[in-house]
Chains A and B, each alone.
Chain A
Amino acid sequence: RKEVEQDPGPFNVPEGATVAFNCTYSNSASQSFFWYRQDCRKEPKLLMSVYSSGNEDGRFTAQLNRASQYISLLIRDSKLSDSATYLCVVIEEMGDKLIFGTGTRLQVFP
């Protein structure tokens, strides 16, 4: 089983739609969780951290479910500019080593 698993997609959604991605992680001792965004052929950039209490930033909401070992990202009112690959990132118990998922590709169409 992979340490961090994501549905690769693509998720094709119209502008204005709400879309959600999940990411599961295998290590129950994982401590920190993040969503990064990566545009085509570009470097990843931090989108948001995921806190136990949930985290909202504008149209984006991230949530953590420790019991089921998954994190989610919800995007409301999708924009064309949201089209990208969303990487789930987990830090395990010790140190600052990031474990990356393979990413979920989102394509928003007009």
Chain B
Amino acid sequence: DGGITQSPKYLFRKEGQNVTLSCEQNLNHDAMYWYRQDPGQGLRLIYYSQIVNDFQKGDIAEGYSVSREKKESFPLTVTSAQKNPTAFYLCASSKLAGDYNEQFFGPGTRLTVL
């Protein structure tokens, strides 16, 4: 089955620790995205990538880092510099960047920092 997977579904970390969230897609999509969703707020874009080995900051990139070494994978690292890391993190992918194509979302990872 084609789709986007994120793991783990729930993640708990202590304050001050870096944590990496996984996102994998087998849809052969070029573009991948990371969003965070907080209660009462819309999804906010953290980072996105249109092609392997290239990525751009979104609206709230501070305290996060990404890599895009493979087309299928776009891991997100939440660093200790992120002041409020507890949130629902959603990864998405789309077929072609620069021209709108539907973004398909993974099931999300709920990160709780204790």
Contact = CB atoms under 8 A, between A and B. Distances in A.
A45 B42 contact: no
Contacts of A44: 43, 90, 105
B45 interface: yes
Contact of B105 (A4, A45, A97): A45
B2 interface: no
Interface in A88-110: 91, 95-103
Interface in B18-44: 31, 35, 40-44
Interface in A58-110: 87, 91, 95-103
Contacts, number: 46
Interface residues of A, number: 20
A87 B42 contact: yes
* Secondary structure call for the B interface: loop
B100 A43 contact: no
B100 A91 contact: yes
Interface in B95-114: 97-103, 105-108, 110
Interface of B: 31, 35, 40-45, 48, 58, 88, 90, 94, 97-103, 105-108, 110
24 contacts: A4-B42, A41-B88, A41-B110, A43-B90, A43-B105, A43-B106, A43-B108, A44-B43, A44-B90, A44-B105, A45-B105, A87-B42, A87-B43, A91-B100, A95-B97, A95-B98, A96-B94, A98-B43, A98-B45, A98-B103, A100-B42, A100-B44, A102-B42, A103-B42
